[in-house]
Chains A and B, each alone.
Chain A
């Protein structure tokens, strides 16, 4: 059942169209991933859905009620974890939570109790009385999430909540998100990290240049490129003629050079490894390894846009 729906959402700025006719549905209890490179329009879409950015066109419905006409109906039911650390660095973690709890109308013992609960959820009870400015990147990210949980929202928007942190903190945050979802929280999760979306999300929207270019479950999306496979070549020396020769092979859809490696997207069963080895020999390219990879969301994005997610 859709809890939140965006219809034909457009956001125009003087020199650009950040979001261009997006149709969007968030179902109760799911984790919906919004995957796309930087500048794809993910944050603008979240800004519109959370009523901070007025759309140029389109409508947003929460349980069928027009949010743009009644913005207050969504505000108490929604928590937003912004991409930036939206906290006061000169206040302690606890003071920040107490303040934002009060902003959401919590008071007295109930507020104290909720702050303690949230500190436990984000695993920061021990460091709660230190100033946020002295926290590590991972701790700041966790308290940034905590501030959005204080008022027990039903829906949580998380805009790239793991940017710039170490793998250990990332893992902790991803596990916390899974736990929150298990407890019934509906989550919209944006990222340009394919692995995170892959790990967390039930359904995925892929966004680029302000448009949703694909959506579905991970399996549905991967199935779109099931007739393709990716071959990754690692080589010691690359002959000049090798790349053009690869591109000229029948069944090769795309060739991408990534540092010392080359990825070839080929039609399944159309290109044999023997042909590739033969071409390498002819162009005096000395290969170190050849690997056939399972298709990923990254491959899908590459397939759809011709670019990598992090390019």
Chain B
């Protein structure tokens, strides 16, 4: 009988144009709007708490300078340059350490410090804290970084240095801010090295090689002052192992799905109170079926409808916007648990409606509480950018937990890593059901 109730309820919801509009059309429209506008969102139109960045220095300035001196004196470059001039060149080069400019001057600049806080630490500690989500990114300055920079400033055909930036995909927007600043700096340096190479090549072609060498000092002087910088730096954005970065479309497809399941729960509760209003409730009771059948039918039908709703949103976002929802084997159990949670929430709202004798409970929920839950759960702004108190509240909402689960599946987390979300959703479902049972008994008293 419960199954017949379920089929009947799902049939009614599918025929309800208002329900379809709110539970399917609206989220699709919002996924499109938010997905397309997410770029401007990320460009700092909102105030974000600063990104915590760890800098790991694997380079050694003195060792690099010694190495440079050794190499330079052994090359044709040293011919025609006196010992005093060589000392001056090395002195000027040594006074400009490109990594230090980035980490001590640029990243600690007064304006940038509102966006980024920098801390120098060892490699092991930096990566441990990154994995724990305590920092946004690790900037790794590799061994021989300054040496390669100096060499590429003087000689053509030298392979570039690499600054590595490791990011936490859960803090994507802040990580992109770090990436943007580092990239802006390295692009400036790259432009300088390109100018030097062109200058040298043209001079050789015009048989003015000696003259070009004589201008090296001027070039280095300007490098020393930081006015002309030459360095080719490869920027590598590498997510922590096992985690992928997700796009704005992916995030908002998940966020809107997590938000609009709340409306499905409210609709389910409205349908329940409609049983009284339509007097079908009495007709069912007259048959000898208890209220338990009605409640069980409500739970299952809302769960089933929300599962269908999420699958449709998933398919729409996949085919319209190319959203990748991650591994189906992780996604499927998550979808099932989320839909059972929605069924449980709908049961609770149904019990409130039942005891109140009207649908005010579900109306207040869909008109007001859903907005608060959506905000706290990260459906409008990613939870990572919300104050800690709000984020904590969001963790205990069904939409917040669902969104966390969706994002983790998209990022490629393993089933074991998503287990806490599964547990959280299961506990919420049980709590909703227990509360619904307790509330519905109030009417019997």
Contact = CB atoms under 8 A, between A and B. Distances in A.
B15 A86 contact: no
A72 interface: yes
A200 B168 CA distance: 81
Contacts of B288: 71-72, 75-76
Interface string A64-75: 000000011001
Contacts of B280: 86-88
A104 B287 contact: yes
B289 interface: yes
B445 interface: no
Contacts of A104: 287
A178 to B, nearest CB: 24
A84 B8 contact: no
A76 B286 CA distance: 9
Contacts of B287: 75, 100, 103-104, 151
A50 interface: yes
Interface in B1-48: 1, 4, 8, 11-12, 15-16
A80 B285 CA distance: 11
A103 B1 contact: yes
B279 interface: yes
A90 interface: yes
A87 B283 CA distance: 9
A198 interface: no
A58 interface: no
A80 B284 CA distance: 11
Interface in A32-79: 50-52, 71-72, 75-76, 78
A3 interface: no
B7 to A, nearest CB: 9
Contacts of A87: 278, 280
A158 to B, nearest CB: 14
B284 to A, nearest CB: 6
A194 B8 CA distance: 39
B119 interface: no
A82 interface: yes
B278 A52 contact: no
Contact of B284 (A51, A71, A85, A103): A103
Interface residues of A, number: 26
Contacts of B289: 103
B85 interface: no
A84 B12 contact: no
A31 interface: no
A151 B12 CA distance: 24
Question: Which label, helix, strand, loop or mixed, suits the secondary structure of the B interface?
Answer: helix
Contacts of A86: 278-280, 282-283
A104 B283 CA distance: 10
A102 B286 contact: no
Contacts of B284: 103
B348 to A, nearest CB: 24
A295 to B, nearest CB: 37
A99 B8 contact: yes
A89 interface: yes
A88 B286 contact: no
B285 A88 contact: no
A91 B12 contact: yes
B279 A102 contact: no
B286 A91 contact: no
Contacts of A84: 279
Interface in B396-427: none
Contacts of B282: 52, 80, 82, 86
A50 B12 CA distance: 28
A95 interface: yes
A147 interface: yes
Q: Which of B11, B279, B283 has the most CB of A within 10 A?
A: B283
Given A75-B288, A88-B8, A90-B12, A102 B1 contact: yes
Given A50-B286, A52-B286, A104-B287, A90 B4 contact: no
Given A75-B287, A86-B278, A103-B289, 6 more contacts: A72-B288, A82-B282, A88-B278, A95-B8, A103-B4, A103-B284
Interface of B: 1, 4, 8, 11-12, 15-16, 278-280, 282-289
Interface of A: 50-52, 71-72, 75-76, 78, 80, 82, 84-91, 95, 99-100, 102-104, 147, 151
Closest 7 A-B residue pairs measured CB to CB?
A: A86-B279, A75-B288, A84-B279, A86-B283, A103-B287, A102-B4, A90-B15
